[in-house]
Structure 1
Amino acid sequence: MIRRLLPLTAGVTAVALTLVLSACSPENAEPAGAASPTPSETASTAPSPTPSAVSPTPSPSPTTAACLVGTWTMGQEDLVGYYDDVNRLMSKSDGTFLPAGNATLTLNADGTFVWAPEIAVTGEVSGQTIVISFAGQVTGSYDQKRSSRGDRIWAPSQSTEALRVLATANSKPTDGGALSQQIGAVPIADARVSCTSDTLVLVSTFSDSIATSILHRG
């Protein structure tokens, strides 16, 4: 499920302020004949709320934060869409890549994640047929927040110890090296994120281009 995996993916606190105005009766009775203030006079003397000098820092929207938790799947069609973006990103390398398989992203309520790709990516690079297969898991932690650019998700820590990567060049074993890291990155490494009840969209930025991963719940 590398659909937009590439090197290539908010709890929330709402603060409510309540202003309570209370009026007390004068200690001494008002002299007879004294005029009572009219409603308009009373309104004009009431203090106006003082606006806060500093706007609160925006935090992840409750909808996005709550929506993230769960298991998300990137199917074959979504992988192809993601690798269309990858191919544009890597156009200068004279290589094109076609994925086959699927991937699963599990985001837990405790801030941990599991990325489980079962994908084989075939590419034509410099006259060679390169096949890179990914299986197993990448585990780690994730965090999210709202910024001026929208909700953002990233993985401050991750482990690839349980991830298996196999690469061949013209059917002979080879070292996938940096290429496998580029095309096999976890999609929540650093991305803008949005989600609905059944769709998670992760937009990763690389240089002056973007790669979009689309996953579906379940």
Structure 2
Amino acid sequence: MANDTGNSGTLTVRKSPSRSHSPARLMSPSRLASQNGDKDWDVASTVSSPASVPEYTGPKLYKEPSFKSNKFIIHNAISRCCLAGKVNEAQKKKIVEEMEKSTANHFLILFRDSSCQFRAVYTMNPETEELVRLAGIGPRVLCSSMVESIYKYSSDRKQFTAIPSKTMSMSVDAFTIPGHLWQSKRPGTPKKPSTPK
């Protein structure tokens, strides 16, 4: 058999490649692990995994919500926007206490009308979309079809912005109801007859 040396003068075509050259460089980590006996791969992966950090065994300070909660946003809106200032301190304190007692995850502020005058805080059941008054003035129970307009609170600007939609969702922070719902819930006060002089 003749030597095929080509132009370079070395036997590269018919010579088997050496193991010291690049095969290990081109292998995936899983193939390397099987070559090295899995031990090195396991060590490398557990060093950076959160499971290798010792688990905290102290008192439970934070309870992870079952799904997104807007309690902090509503608390912030009430404190810094709706009921800000010393004059509203008692009402704000009462409403915040009711929110803390509640097991609800989603809270909504009821405004009197589009001028965003605070009236009450409601909780919303996401399955039934029923709104139940937690504290304040307003109808005891509302369904989502009674909502007139909805708002989102911006913590940066400390203000509410109307959302061009009627659909209640977990991203809604406040709402208004039609005026006739306010009148129908008020108890009728009979007019006093004028007294003759």
> TM exceeds 0.5?
no
Larger radius of gyration: 2
Higher relative contact order (CA 8 A, sep 6+): 1
- TM-score, with normalisation over the residues of structure 1? 0.23
- TM-score, with normalisation over the residues of structure 2? 0.25
More helix by share: 2
